[in-house]
Amino acid sequence: MQNMASRSRQVKLLNLAKVKSHHVNNNHYGEIEEIEVEVEKNFRKFKNFDILETSPLDHYFLDHQPTSTLVCFGLHKNKSPKKTMREEWEILSSQLPNSIFYIRVYESRCDLMRVVVINEEAATNSYHHGLFFFDLFFPKNYPSNPPKIVYHSYGKSLNEIRRVVCDNYIFKNWGSLIKSNTESPILNVLVSIEIFISNSIELERSSETIFQMLRSPLIGYEDFVLGYFLLRSHHILLNYKTTFTDPDEENYKTFFNLIKAFEEIGAYCKHHYKYLESYDN
């Protein structure tokens, strides 16, 4: 995976071609299109499911006792933890819906998992970004007991996701989720989370989450975050403008900061400045 810092520097240099002059020549546009094609290519290559060698240092449950050192996982008393989880991984890798869930698991810690849920409906309604990151830890008695799951809120509590889904739903419905031997209980949980996000219109909105994700993308998802926001920057900005029920200085300041954040990763946003100019007038 290409280093995020070096790529950001490369993108910033190319981005200068877009704002240096109002009369940008075709060669400059060619360079811009080239880097956007590269970023999109890396984003498209990002697998829905992948097994990595080592777990990320920023995983929420990294300091938990590794389940892989224990004898068994709950109901599977004749299986090693790694074998149990590999069976789960095989089901996930074959059943994941495209462009909704992106999962990373780890050879060194089979008890850890990281997931991002994409919700395009949320990207145009309840939330402006549509990215929801979760870290999971599988206990020694899994699947008798459910995994622990934490939502990366980037400083925002978003208690509804944690309270309704991560806490209540999993524990109340775990028995029904593990009945099938051909379906992954984890996939059922993720689908439930995605449905909850889609149907929730009163959840907290915050552009600050976008800034936090761009500044500090979770390890293993650097390319994914960059490509996601680069390709959707125009749409996100348009959507943000529609939420201005009462335009004020704070709204326009946030809109300006979003433009700058997207330009820093290589997005062409110059035409959006016209909206700010209309406010100044």
Structure tokens at 145: 């007991």
Q: At what angle do helices 222-242 and 4-19 cross, to 10 degrees?
A: 40
Instruction: Identify the pLDDT of residue 196.
Output: 76
Burial (0-12, 13-18, 19+ Cβ within 10 Å), 150: middle
Least confident of 76-90, 137-151, 211-225: 76-90
3-state secondary structure of 65: coil
> If you average pLDDT over every residue of the chain, what do you get?
74
Instruction: Give just the sign of the alpha carbon dihedral 149, 154, 159, 160.
Output: negative
**Mean pLDDT value of segment 108-136:** 79
Instruction: Characterize 188-218 residue by residue with b for buried, 16 or more Cβ atoms within 10 angstroms of its Cβ, and e for exposed.
Output: bbbebbbebbeebeebeebbebbbbbbeebb
Class of domain 48-199: alpha beta
Strand 112-118 to 101-106 pairing? antiparallel
| Rounded average pLDDT over 23-51 | 69
Q: Which of 67-71, 85-89, 102-106, 160-164 has the highest mean pLDDT?
A: 102-106
Q: What is the mean pLDDT of residues 239-259?
A: 78
Q: Sorting pLDDT into bands at 50, 70 and 90, what band is 228?
A: very high
Residue 33 banded pLDDT, cuts 50, 70, 90: low
Q: What is the mean pLDDT of residues 133-152?
A: 86
Catalytic residues, which ones? 166
Question: What residue segments make up the domains of the chain, in order of their start?
Answer: 4-44+220-280, 48-199
* Interhelix angle 26-45/4-19, nearest 10 degrees: 150
Instruction: Give the pLDDT confidence score for residue 10 in this predicted structure.
Output: 46
- pLDDT tens profile 56-89: 999 999 998 776 544 334 444 455 667 778 888 9
Give the residue-averaged pLDDT of 21-38: 52
Q: Is residue 192 within 8 Å of 111, Cβ to Cβ?
A: no
pLDDT at residue 7 above 90? no
Strands 148-151 and 49-52, sheet pairing: unpaired
